[in-house]
Structure 1
């Protein structure tokens, strides 16, 4: 197996989404030697188009943004390996990471592996993501849903807050449950006062029809929506950090300080692996902070 010793690499970045690539760009511009290992499953790649990322008033697709960041990182000599880190461990002088082709050693490591939104395994819902008919982030694109017919999918208690958030943009909000259960007070009262519908029947089927999503309910009725927002939870890809003893919250987000440092010496984390505010702008901000602290923590690299 090929091996890169910790002394030869300043930082290993796990994950090539906006956070990981931005961190790599900053470090490379600090003249640090960086490798990014990316499994090719960035959540950003699922964005059909976003209009809330600063500087792109006409919108940008997630894949276009990732391509631009990748090109910029490679311009500065960043090596990007398409693979998955199977194990990360602390060793003298830093960290060692095992992947399919060998072992990479680095003085510092950054967890930028993001998260995966849970879904129902329904192929129609998955396919609709690419058409912008199923969305996961009302902070990102609630404005584009202004005055549309919006369905919010999940348990009443879990999805109620997102339904209320989306009420900012449209009067036509329906809370679709999978179990047909109501929610408790005071949430039930808030939903009612906001004019948010909560059908007694549960959602049992989904299909795309042109530019709408058709939802079948357990009482035999069907309803049409312009967009559906699932609220089914997520899996935070922080297991590499957690196995090293990094502190984390109940959802798996790693706890970091103001410099994006975990409690494990030399281990940083950025982006969705850290924050409940799943925003590209937040992730790239984390990356800039972490990269600068990593650079300042390493031995001087004067020319």
Structure 2
């Protein structure tokens, strides 16, 4: 079956685009593996209209129902290969399905690198955070433990000093910290612990601290993860000849959100910008408006 547009990725950007394109009554398919980072966040607190927070799962569920009501189709699958033949995009999935489309929106996102402790997952977005722009406010005046790696974690600890003076930086992977950062940490009176962590201490969604490999427990009210090395999911873009940056993010036209490849758009965290839910929503909506213009241009021919 041929679609006017296929959206790869059903996270926040993909869903917002699907809703906008559904309102234009175009034939739209969203292919989503249901494994994006927005599934992991138990509460977003900086979104207009949700002062008490909303989980990524709930926001996605609401968005999918909204898009389905507009006639958008959804497939739970993972796209593994895409190629363009003349003016047609052909997509091949993990479940051996094949789809074709006239336009393509890549909303494949980013996956954070998290420490290997299962206790951390119920805490994400509630008492353990990743993005200081999203959630620095949540650690205000609270004892906060930064679970980081080398310079990345050091920089996070220094950033969070804006919100709280009670900070501990645990260099989880024992990677080297540059001398100038060590000096800044010392000047800001941020405690640095160079020791492996045995376990995250948590009660349900409430982070309580960590137990070090030597047995000592470091107590905390909030946690922040800063390991670096996040996975930017731009591999499909590369298959299509889309330009990507050194950090693997996709640059797009600031107005239309189209990539350097004709009729291929990108939106959300995979794009080169600050990784925010609200920005992802705007990206998705803006890309959809210009995809609509392109669809209508094709139909008038």
Aligned to 1:115: 110
- Deviation, 1:134, is 2.7
Contact 1:143 1:169 in 2 (8 A): yes
Report the counterpart of residue 212 of structure 1 in structure 2: 207
Q: Which runs of 5+ in 1 are unaligned?
A: none
* 3-state SS, counterpart of residue 10 of structure 1: strand
Displacement, 1:219? 5.2
Superposed CA deviations along residues 168-192 of structure 1, whole A, max 9, x for unmatched, are 2111111110244552243223222
Question: Offset of 1:207 from its aligned partner?
Answer: 2.7
Q: Is the 8 A contact 2:202 2:209 kept in 1?
A: yes
Q: For 1:39, which of 19, 30, 33 is the aligned residue?
A: 33
Given the alignment of the two structures, is residue 191 of structure 1 paired with residue 182 of structure 2, yes or no? no
d(CA) in 1 for partners of 2:73, 2:96: 14
Structure 1 length as normaliser, TM-score? 0.90
Contact 2:18/2:28 (8 A) holds in 1: yes
8 Å contact kept, 2:209–2:221: no
Aligned residues: 294
RMSD of aligned residue pairs (Cα, Å): 2.0
CA distance in 1, matches of 2:127, 2:286: 35
Q: Distance in 1 between matches of 2:285 and 2:175?
A: 44
Matched residue, 2:12: 18
Secondary structure of the structure 2 residue equivalent to 1:72? helix
Q: Which whole-Å CA distance do the structure 2 matches of 1:86 and 1:251 have between them?
A: 21
For residues 1-303 of structure 1, what are the structure 2 equivalents within 5 Å? 4-5=1-2, 9-99=3-93, 100-129=95-124, 132-180=126-174, 183-199=177-193, 201-210=194-203, 211-218=206-213, 220-233=215-228, 234-258=230-254, 259-300=256-297
- Give the match's secondary structure for 2:46: coil
CA drift at 1:276: 4.4
Looking at structure 2, the residues matched to 268 and 212 of structure 1 have their Cα atoms a distance apart, in angstroms, of 39
- 185-194 vs 20-29, which moves further: 185-194
Query: Is the Cα–Cα contact under 8 Å of residues 94 and 266 in structure 1 kept in the other structure?
Result: no
| Structure 2 residues not aligned, in runs of 5+ | none
